[in-house]
Amino acid sequence: MFELKKTEGAARRGEFTCAHGTVQTPVFMNVGTQGAIKGALSAKDLKDIGCQVELSNTYHLHLRPTDKIVKECGGLHKFMTWDGPILTDSGGFQVFSLASLRKIKEEGVTFASHIDGHKIFMGPEESMQIQSNLGSDICMAFDECIENPAPRAYVQQSVDRTYRWLVRCKAENARLNALEDTVNPQQMLWGINQGGTYPDIRIDHMKRIADLDLPGYAIGGLAVGETAQEMYDIIEAVEPYMPKEKTRYLMGVGTPTNIIEAVARGVDFFDCVMPARNARHARLFTWEGAINLRNAKYMTDMQPIDPQCDCPVCRRYSRAYIRHLFVAEEMLAMRLCVMHNLYFYNKLMERIRNALDEGRFADFRREYSEKLSRRI
């Protein structure tokens, strides 16, 4: 459950409790799509870099190793030896990202597997069953993520169907939690607000799903083609209709600047593949802005990635050495950089929380929101 401890403007400082621990918010969830962080980070590494919540992907784990195998192994926590909270997404984003391989009906969605092309059907009930088998603490409702921009008539049709799917998800989640052999009987279902870039559709949908009295709510379908300002405008439009006593999650966002700006607009939870993906291409975040370690100017630079950072990488290795690892195509380069970037994001959230605790978030935002978007 969620306790709102303090506010500064629309920004919120809170505490979320679930079966596997207590989470201080605002928080960034570290994305381990297939039960591991891309870049060779283990569950132990996540503890060392300050991760509070791990996020895994329902669709991918359903394909490999299959959710039934994960359940036989005792659930995802035991399987990947992570004892903290886990959120699983519903597979709904794959409806969007695998657009050329799927067909949407009222019952659900038929996919062609991206691995071998075999047909997969997933509807609200199937998504809930897979996530129940995984045993995550937070399961996300099955929804359709609409591309931006999209015709208004299609957006309204899709949102209405997403609402009907949510009603089915709620019923199935309750049924599964009551089963004797369920992995995590305290699994919480969070609903997802959709509506493209149409504020009135978004607001109407948010009102309807708020009436279902779920433990948390997400804003989905953003960071998929709209501008940053359009995203901020949608958050501002929807936020007043999100229950104050429930968690708010902005799905798939984003840059450090996006996160600071979304916190200022009332968001509690974030996730994004960006820090790990950028790290694997030598693009690293620092407290002065982003750098690209492949740049020749770092060839003999014996400073750490960020002199202001105290992550395990910055305490030991130099820019010159890590750049050499990239040029030599050594796997260690990716591991070190992913570790640094995720530590940076986790530390960013810690500094945001501290600023909120001390009543100086507005000052923090002024100092860092623009600065962290720079490339240096």
Instruction: Determine the Cα–Cα distance for residues 253 and 230; give it in Å rounded to an integer.
Output: 13
Catalytic residue among 45, 137, 268, 271: 271
Nearest of 303, 324, 273 to residue 376 by alpha carbon: 303
Q: Is 89 part of the annotated catalytic residue set?
A: yes
200 noted as active-site residue: no
The catalytic residue among 45, 67, 89, 137 is 89
Catalytically active residues, by annotation: 89, 271
